[in-house]
Chains A and B, each alone.
Chain A
Amino acid sequence: MSAVPHDGQTLRAGIKPSEIRVSNVFKGYGDAQFRTEVVRDCSFTIDRSKLTVMIGPSGCGKSTLIRLLAGFEKPDRGTITLNGAPVTGPARDRLVLFQESALFPWMNTWDNILYGPRARREVSRETLDMADFLLNKVGLAQFRRKYPMQLSGGMQRRAELARAMINNPAVMILDEPFRGLDAMTKELMWEYYSRLFEETRRTNFFVTTDIDEAIFLADRLLIMSNIPCQVRAVLDIDIPRPRTLIAMVEDDRANEIKMSALSILHEEAMKSFSRGSKAAADFVEAYSKRVSKS
């Protein structure tokens, strides 16, 4: 690599186009008669160089799936493969961004970003250049010496994106990363994040409960059933990139996809509603409001 500052191309150059396949995965918790099956016979593919978004009712087992994909836990049955090789444990080729910030509070932004390379003793001129590039990319150049506690919620998420990206994972896994941010920050984060994705075209897997977020970001949308977790429908979001929020609001295709996604989610919610789920009741109410508005 040369001394020329990094750009999107050098960032992209290191990425190996990768694909995760989940086949007939089962996962349950608890013993004997108290056992709850959280994931049952779940199969899907996270396509190469695509942003796959998974949406489903809260408590449907999405986070369990993420722990399986990351390798923190093992499935009871079934296989998960990355480029054909089975996933056996956590590794840098599948990095997870958690729901809440998992930045190390005792390290400043710079040290947090360099955590991975230092852990693997891979700090070189190029790594430092890359860290600088990413820091600028996520708009935190002035905050390199700040501790996480001194950053806003949105900044923390961006710092975490940079910390994951410097390790150049084959797949990035994001578990409701923008949950809890206010609406404005959240929308800003969508734009940041989708620009980063468009520049790198790294395989991304993004889990959310927010339908607008899902449609704005996704190439493919996986709609999950209620617990036990299964893929209920797959929608291709064929809206050209780069997308902007304003355009999305007026885009007929986007609204069409949203309505069909909502109706599937509604169906799922109704099923669990009839089983007496409290979360589903909230959803049914929210959905009826949404439908009457549009």
Chain B
Amino acid sequence: MSAIVASAAQPRPRPGQSIFRHHVVRAVISISVFILLWELGSRLKAPWVGEVPPPSVVLDTWIPLLTDQGYWYSWYQSSRRVLSGFLAAMIIGIPFGLAMATSRVFHDLTFPVFEILRPIPPLAWVPAAIIFWPTQELSIGFVIFLGAIFTIMLNVIGGARSIDVRFFQAARSMGSSNWDIFRRIVLPGVLPSIVVGCEVGIGITWNVVVAAEMISGGGGAIQSSAGGGLGFFIWNSYIGFSYPHIVVGMISIGIAGYISSAIIRRLGLYVTPWLRVR
């Protein structure tokens, strides 16, 4: 896992713009060229990509799956796990981060432990998670939770720390109480960083869901090739030597991650209206 503290000040796209914009056209070109090169590389048995099934074959495998209930159930399973792990990370990570940023004592007491736990990759937690949690679902949820929480916390701490000291001085001078400063200065001040943390964090949860599902064996539907989540779908396809299915699973996760980040970005713009204006 990488812990990314991205800048909250970067310009964001405005919502509600026409979809026929230059950047959409460029995105379509980018994806088309990628698929074309992949198809060519695969057909011409180019080194490195030669063993990968070409997009046309992947598509042939994918289309029947679109009407397959098991495939969509995998989507549902993975999304549910990502969402619950991510929400847990938000619910615990945001208050924890705020406490660390606002209280020196709390920071000094918790930061060393936090810093030791942080570099441990979520994958390394998998065996421990399986042993310590009573159900497989909880183990998976826990690993996903670990994927997101550190990034969210780091962004909250960084965001709160970077609030201009003059805001506090001005607020204090005008008679603000501590609670008032927290509510009207710290919270809105840290909100852009929370959004960035969540945007990056939810991407990491999708990285982690695969590992968690592969090793936990797909949750409720262990024997079926479908219904165990997208991560399990890939693992199972690998065991069954079905390469096109592996690629379908990979692209599915890519799309799911993209959609999740886009939703968070939208929600983020909604809660930070002052960043939408220029």
Chain A 240-280 against B: per-residue CB contact (8 Å), 1 yes, 0 no?
00000000000000000000000000000000000000000
- With contact pairs A102-B164, A115-B174, A116-B175 given, residues A90 and B169 touching in the complex (Cβ less than 8 Å): yes
Q: Chain A residue with minimal CB distance to B191?
A: A106
CB distance from A272 to the nearest CB of B (A): 28
Does B103 lie at the interface of the complex (its beta carbon under 8 Å from any beta carbon of A)? no
Q: Which residues of A contact B173 (CB under 8 A)?
A: 70, 90-92, 94-96
CB distance from A104 to the nearest CB of B (A): 6
Q: Are B277 and A150 in contact (CB under 8 A)?
A: yes
Q: Chain B residue with minimal CB distance to A70?
A: B173
CB distance from B166 to the nearest CB of A (A): 4
Does A167 lie at the interface of the complex (its beta carbon under 8 Å from any beta carbon of B)? yes
Q: Chain B residue with minimal CB distance to A148?
A: B274
- With contact pairs A96-B169, A115-B174, A119-B177 given, residues A106 and B188 touching in the complex (Cβ less than 8 Å): yes
Q: Which residues of B contact A98 (CB under 8 A)?
A: 166, 169-170
In the docked arrangement, what's the CA distance between A70 and B176, Å?
A: 15
Q: Which residues of B contact A104 (CB under 8 A)?
A: 167, 184-185, 188
| Cβ 8 A contact of A120, one of B175, B189, B273 | B175
In the docked arrangement, what's the CA distance between A98 and B173, Å?
A: 12
Q: Chain A residue with minimal CB distance to B278?
A: A149
Interface size on B, residues (CB 8 A): 23
Does A147 lie at the interface of the complex (its beta carbon under 8 Å from any beta carbon of B)? yes
Does A105 lie at the interface of the complex (its beta carbon under 8 Å from any beta carbon of B)? yes
In the docked arrangement, what's the CA distance between A244 and B164, Å?
A: 36
Q: Are A102 and B175 in contact (CB under 8 A)?
A: no
Does B14 lie at the interface of the complex (its beta carbon under 8 Å from any beta carbon of A)? no
Residue of A94, A98, A100, A102 with highest tally of chain B CB at under 10 A? A102
Chain B 261-278 against A: per-residue CB contact (8 Å), 1 yes, 0 no?
000000000001110011
| Cβ 8 A contact of B176, one of A107, A119, A147 | A119
CB distance from A141 to the nearest CB of B (A): 19
Does A72 lie at the interface of the complex (its beta carbon under 8 Å from any beta carbon of B)? yes
In the docked arrangement, what's the CA distance between A146 and B276, Å?
A: 12
Q: Which residues of B contact A96 (CB under 8 A)?
A: 169-170, 173
Chain A 95-119 against B: per-residue CB contact (8 Å), 1 yes, 0 no?
1101010101111000000011001
CB distance from B78 to the nearest CB of A (A): 35
In the docked arrangement, what's the CA distance between A94 and B184, Å?
A: 21
Does B171 lie at the interface of the complex (its beta carbon under 8 Å from any beta carbon of A)? yes
CB distance from A144 to the nearest CB of B (A): 14
Does B172 lie at the interface of the complex (its beta carbon under 8 Å from any beta carbon of A)? yes
Q: Chain A residue with minimal CB distance to B164?
A: A102
Q: Which residues of B contact A120 (CB under 8 A)?
A: 174-175
Q: Are A149 and B174 in contact (CB under 8 A)?
A: no
Q: Are A95 and B174 in contact (CB under 8 A)?
A: yes
For chain B, residues 144 to 192, give those with C-beta under 8 angstroms from any C-beta of chain A.
164, 166-167, 169-177, 180, 184-185, 188-189, 191
In the docked arrangement, what's the CA distance between A132 and B265, Å?
A: 36
Given contacts A106-B189, A149-B274, 6 further A-B contacts (CB under 8 A): A95-B173, A102-B166, A106-B191, A106-B274, A120-B174, A167-B174
Q: What 6 A-B pairs come out closest when comparing CB atoms? A: A116-B174, A106-B188, A102-B166, A119-B176, A120-B175, A90-B173
Interface residues of B (CB under 8 A from A): 164, 166-167, 169-177, 180, 184-185, 188-189, 191, 272-274, 277-278
